[in-house]
Amino acid sequence: MGFLSGVLGAVKDDTNVASYYYITKDKLNNFNKFLYTGHSNFSHFISYVSCVLSDYDIALKRKTDEVRISLESLKEQIELGKKSIEQDRFRDISKQVSEWTRRADKYISKATDADNALRKIDLQLSCKLNVYVKSVVQATEGFKRCAENNDLNVLNELAENHMAKVTAFISSQSKRLMMQFYAYLENCIGALYMSLESLKNCDFNDLDTSVYPDLCSAFDLVKIGMDDLLIKYDKEIVSGVKSIAEDVLALKSTVTDEKKKLALQVSSLQAQITSLKDLRTLVVPPSTTFDEYQSDAEDNKWNLHKQIQSVTLQIVNSVKGCFATLPSDISAALKKYTNRIADADDNSSDDEDGYLDKIESGVVTYVGTFENFDSKVQEWVTDILKKDKIVNDRYLKRYVSTNIRESYFKIRDSTHMHGILTTAVRTALTRYITAAGEKVRLMTAESRPNETIAFHLRALKEGIEHFVGQLGMVLDDRVGAIVDDVEDQLGVEDGKSSPGKSHLTYAIRILLHQLHSVARQAGNDAAALLNETFVNMANVDKSIVDVKALSSTIEAELTPDDSSHDYSKLGNQMRNKLINAATDDNEVKNKMKDLLREACIRGIDELQAQITKIVAGKFTDGRTSLEGIKSELVKLQTKEEVDITTTHADGGDSLLEKQAHGLHVTVLNFLRDKIGESATPAQSSVHNDMKRLLRNVDILKQNVANVKKRVCAVGEKLEKCIIQAEELITETTKEATRSFDRLRDAVNIIVERAFNDIQKEARIRYTETKRKEVDALMNIVTDQLTSITKTISDDLATGVKGFIKTLKDGTTKNLSSMQGKNIGRLKKFGDLSSQQEYDRRQFTDLAEAFHDFCQPLHTYLLGEITRANLNNSGTTPNYSARLKSIFTAFSTLLPHLREANKYDHRVPSMLSNLRDALTVLKPDGFSTPNSSTLDCITSGLTKFADELDKAYISVYDGQGFEGKVVEETGTVEVYTTGVYPVYLSTEYGKKCAKVFCTALEILFHDLSELREECKRDWKDLNICMHPGEDIENGLASYLKNCGYGVPSKQGVQDGELRYGESWTGESIRATLLIKQHDATLTRTAFRLVY
């Protein structure tokens, strides 16, 4: 009983036990009250200890299993997710993302449960398992980030790849359709040009020849004839000839006027034909293809808004490049349209930087925060102290609660305590903080302003990694310095340790490990910004250059806005389209497809409208000119003096024909009236001249008729040209519409097909990505769970836990058949009775059972020494031999009791040897893994020896002297004082003598211990159990173990021993040394038993 009580008393405050089952003072007192009571309470004691060990084992298993069970549940969840991958590949990406995000939340919840379970176990095991559990937590969190963000990059990459195919298809289709449209325009305009050219070169030449050589020659003949008549017969026939001459002059004037007007119209037609020819030369096939959009800027992958903007820029550049060679009006209109698209996303004011500039300035600011690295470390430490419940609740609070001096009032304020800790950590790490800060500061934007973002980020990463590496090498070395610094600030005297200093040490060790993790994560964050797999900030610099260059190019090429065209509606529609698409991430494929189709349709419609307008505008003047020529030709046929046309004029349809006919009639009337049929010779001459003039007039009349015929022919051809021009305008518009309709339909088909391919391929890739990620996560969880299971198993089989496990089961292996086997060796002896004869055999069996009970503990401790030796210096420690000497003494004592079957004179000597071996074994200087364990065996065997000292007396406890102890021999002996009979001891007397000698030896030992302790440690102590809160009295505990009723606390007389301020250990020692007088001797009370 003493052994078990000593073991449990030694481990009650150890965190390896207290974290699972707290052995209270009441329970420990229940253990101690069974001591020194003999065999009567042995059964109750063993049962009570068995229950305590079972409760501890159950709590230990439950709390350690919580970590493992949470991760096993996580594995089951991941396995369920793997089984659904094949079905998910047919689902929409948005649903897959939503489903995997939900699963990732479950994974994180399970990993977090395991992390929370670490807070319920002891610190030593928690620190061992923390790295494995944290790895699982980080893996699940990374899995969720991939499910939420990284998968959209896959879709974006697919969209970019298919966009290249779409633009290539649009380029080829546009070129082919433009070639067809070019050929159509070339044929139509060419045919009209040839018709008008023929009209000009042939018909108008013939008309001009008819008017000038033929008509003018006939007119000249008439004029010459008239001149001759005037010369010959002026005096004779003046009046008649003058009237004819006037008609001739009028005819000449008419011909001259009509000639000039016709020439003017023909000249105008020539100018229109020339412009038509020039227009034909301008309609040429496109010489360039669509510009393929190339950009390495990673920020295009950050959000959907940027992706849509990149698609619109592709459309803008592609349409702009394709139609760059069209006429200037068409190009200007197209530039205005591309400008609307390019500015659709511009919501910032003029004095604000663009998105990429904001990214650049943000990175520079982020790096700049690390220039004062000391402040960053202070921020990390402060954040850890605010959030880490293990540091605050488990260790700092315990440290505070155990300090009852003046420093308590300083440290009970958590803010003040956190400030002290932060200052101490920064002071201890000053050299490493300064080096890291200097490394960052030399490479930042302020020191190297012309460097790239990638340069600054790499400098930041290297500075943080330098700090992490240095901190990792000195983590454990700096703990002691920080603890001393903290206690210096708290006012703890030099050379003294505050109560609960181990709690402060644990808190600082955890704090430094947490700081190391936080700093390492900051370095990983900086490295992630340069990782091609995620977001490469190095490409921001190139993107800024590319965007600024593109902006300059567009600004240089675009013309001022034409207020006559209303583009505001189109700009608003595109702007709204962009905004609506950017706000709905789940329908990215539909929005991008709609945007592409809408942009193409609007670009084509706008271009078509401008072509239609320009074509119509160019031929308006030409048509007017053709109509003017037609009108003049009609007037040439029917025009009268007052510009009033009639359906028919006397002598012909036109004024010229009428005048020629009138001249002919005048000449005939003159011949008839003036000359007659018969004339004199003089008259005959006149007659003949007039006949000649009449013939010339007839020729003139005939030529006028010929001119009329030619004018009619020209008019018919001109009418055909006008109809052809009108058809050109109408059919060109229709053909342009049909061409762009075909282009639009082809683009819609290829875009829809491309995005269907994107959807299909994205689903497949997403599924394959998830398959790999789930497999990787499963491997991480499996590996970490294996490590955790092994670590827990190893931890439960070593140290204090392994000792208690061996104490209970006889082995550290977790076998159901061995549950409680070792402690069970003692439980069967609970019914011992000293009143029966077979008690001797029971005593022998108990000694042998206790030897067998302790043998596994001996083997375990030797194994622990070997394990600790391998983990530390590798040399055999001197306390290995000391431990063996303890078990040698112990193994000598128990077999002797078993073989002798009694408590003889050799037992005290053997107990003394055991105490000596225990005294030599001092665990204060041992390594940390074994000190608590050795405390267990030392405490247990010490109480075992103390109890065994009283074992023999306990057998006879309560018995009186019955029977004869001596018998007379019948002889006497003579002394100076008289004659005395001689007696011999009986067997019963010899037993009583042994009892007396044993009791005397025990009494001497106890009084010796009381005298020595009262001289040293107990000198100033009063006789009461608790002189102050949480302080035990060694003197009172000693007297209570001797069976006395001791007062419970200071100032209370509730025990059988006298209480008073004067009754101290010193007064007890003085009492023991008071001389006692009897008839023959004067001795002290102590000497009476010596």
Q: Give tens-digit pLDDT for 612-632.
A: 443 333 333 333 444 554 555
More confident residue, 888 or 194: 888
Residue 628: C-alpha distances to residues 224, 261, 635, 1004 (Å): 35, 10, 10, 153
Tell me the three state secondary structure of residue 652.
Answer: strand
Q: How far apart (Å, rounded) are the C-alpha atoms in residues 73 and 779?
A: 14
Q: Which long-range contacts (CB under 8 A, 24 or more apart) does 1051-1060 make?
A: 1052/1024, 1055/1023, 1055/1024, 1057/1023, 1058/1023, 1059/1022, 1059/1023, 1059/1024, 1060/1022
Q: 218: closest CA among 193, 172, 189, 252?
A: 252
For residue 150, what is the DSSP state? I
pLDDT greater than 80 at residue 161: no
Tell me the three state secondary structure of residue 1084.
Answer: strand
Q: What is the pLDDT of residues 1001-1043, one digit of tens each?
A: 778 888 888 888 888 888 888 888 766 655 668 888 888 777 7
Q: What's CA 508's distance to the chain center, in Å?
A: 30
Q: How far apart (Å, rounded) are the C-alpha atoms in residues 949 and 910?
A: 11
Q: What is the pLDDT of residues 1040-1077, one digit of tens each?
A: 777 778 887 777 777 777 666 777 888 888 888 776 55
Q: Are 482 and 383 in contact (CB under 8 A)?
A: no
Q: What is the pLDDT of residues 645-654, one digit of tens each?
A: 444 444 445 5
Backbone angles phi, psi at 1084, to 5 degrees: -75, 165
Paired strand residues for 1083? 1076
H or E element: which one contains 710? helix 681-796
Q: Of 368-372, 696-700, 733-737, which has the strongest mean pLDDT?
A: 368-372
Q: What is the CA radius of gyration of the chain?
A: 61
Q: How far apart (Å, rounded) are the C-alpha atoms in residues 51 and 614?
A: 103
Alpha-carbon dihedral angle through residues 1057, 1061, 1062, 1063, given to the nearest 10 degrees: 20
Give the pLDDT of residue 871: 58
- Characterise 38 by phi-psi region: left (phi > 0), alpha (psi -120 to 50), beta (else): left
Q: Are 666 and 242 in contact (CB under 8 A)?
A: no
**What confidence category does residue 239 fall into, taking pLDDT thresholds of 50, 70 and 90?**
low
**What confidence category does residue 143 fall into, taking pLDDT thresholds of 50, 70 and 90?**
confident
Give the pLDDT of residue 636: 47
Q: How far apart (Å, rounded) are the C-alpha atoms in residues 445 and 452?
A: 9
Q: How far apart (Å, rounded) are the C-alpha atoms in residues 793 and 805?
A: 12
Give the pLDDT of residue 823: 77
Q: In the chain, count H helices and then E strands.
A: 38, 4
For residue 649, what is the DSSP state? B
More confident residue, 339 or 111: 111
Alpha-carbon dihedral angle through residues 903, 904, 910, 911, given to the nearest 10 degrees: 50
Paired strand residues for 967? 984
Three-state secondary structure readout of 341-355: HHCCCCCCCCCCCCH
More confident residue, 985 or 916: 985
**What confidence category does residue 368 fall into, taking pLDDT thresholds of 50, 70 and 90?**
confident
Q: Are 940 and 10 in contact (CB under 8 A)?
A: yes
pLDDT greater than 80 at residue 983: yes
Give the pLDDT of residue 32: 67
pLDDT greater than 70 at residue 775: yes
Give the pLDDT of residue 765: 74
Q: How far apart (Å, rounded) are the C-alpha atoms in residues 730 and 748?
A: 27
For residue 123, what is the DSSP state? H
Structure tokens, 617: 């505008």
pLDDT greater than 60 at residue 961: yes
Q: Token pair 């996303």 is at which residue?
A: 345
Q: Token pair 């050219």 is at which residue?
A: 197
Give the pLDDT of residue 1089: 46
Q: Of 380-384, 583-587, 820-824, 870-874, which has the strongest mean pLDDT?
A: 380-384
Paired strand residues for 1031? 1028
Q: Who contacts 977 (Cβ-Cβ below 8 Å, separation ≥6)?
A: none
Class of residue 380 by CB neighbours under 10 A (exposed 0-12, middle 13-18, buried 19+): buried
Paired strand residues for 984? 967
Question: What DSSP letter does each residue of 961-1021 carry, written as one string?
Answer: --S-SEEEEEEEEEETTEEEEEEEE-HHHHHHHHHHHHHHHHHHHHHHHHHHHHHTTTTT-
Q: 744: closest CA among 315, 308, 289?
A: 315
Q: Residue 966: what residue type? A: V
Tell me the three state secondary structure of residue 1082.
Answer: strand
Q: Residue 935: what residue type? A: D
Q: How far apart (Å, rounded) are the C-alpha atoms in residues 908 and 943?
A: 15
Q: Are 293 and 317 in contact (CB under 8 A)?
A: yes
pLDDT averaged over every residue in the chain: 65
Structure tokens, 358: 């904001």
Give the pLDDT of residue 189: 60
Q: Who contacts 221 (Cβ-Cβ below 8 Å, separation ≥6)?
A: 696, 699, 700
More confident residue, 1024 or 244: 1024
Q: How far apart (Å, rounded) are the C-alpha atoms in residues 1053 and 1056?
A: 8
Give the pLDDT of residue 53: 78
Give the pLDDT of residue 406: 47
Q: What's CA 786's distance to the chain center, in Å?
A: 27
**What confidence category does residue 237 fall into, taking pLDDT thresholds of 50, 70 and 90?**
very low
Q: Token pair 């350690």 is at which residue?
A: 64
CA quadruple 951, 952, 956, 960: dihedral sign: negative
Give the pLDDT of residue 591: 41
Tell me the three state secondary structure of residue 1061.
Answer: coil
Question: What DSSP letter does each residue of 884-923 carry, written as one string?
Answer: HHHHHHHHHHHHHHHHH-S--THHHHHHHHHHHHHHH--G
pLDDT greater than 80 at residue 136: yes
pLDDT greater than 80 at residue 444: no
Give the pLDDT of residue 262: 55
Backbone angles phi, psi at 649, to 5 degrees: -115, 150
**Considering the chain, what percentage of its residues have pLDDT values greater than 90?**
0
Backbone angles phi, psi at 283, to 5 degrees: -80, 90
Q: What's CA 733's distance to the chain center, in Å?
A: 55
Q: Are 675 and 690 in contact (CB under 8 A)?
A: yes
Paired strand residues for 978? 975
**What confidence category does residue 592 fall into, taking pLDDT thresholds of 50, 70 and 90?**
very low
Class of residue 873 by CB neighbours under 10 A (exposed 0-12, middle 13-18, buried 19+): exposed
Class of residue 6 by CB neighbours under 10 A (exposed 0-12, middle 13-18, buried 19+): buried
The total number of residues written for the chain in this structure: 1090
Question: What DSSP letter does each residue of 1019-1052 carry, written as one string?
Answer: TT-BSSSBSBTTB--HHHHHHHHTT----SBTT-
Q: How far apart (Å, rounded) are the C-alpha atoms in residues 524 and 786?
A: 26
Q: How far apart (Å, rounded) are the C-alpha atoms in residues 302 and 536?
A: 11
More confident residue, 602 or 935: 935
Q: Are 101 and 109 in contact (CB under 8 A)?
A: no
> Cα–Cα–Cα angle for 475, 481, 483, nearest 5°?
95
Q: Of 81-90, 323-332, 495-504, 539-548, which has the strongest mean pLDDT?
A: 81-90
Q: Who contacts 863 (Cβ-Cβ below 8 Å, separation ≥6)?
A: none
**Cβ atoms within 10 Å of 86's Cβ, excluding its own:** 10
Q: Are 614 and 327 in contact (CB under 8 A)?
A: yes
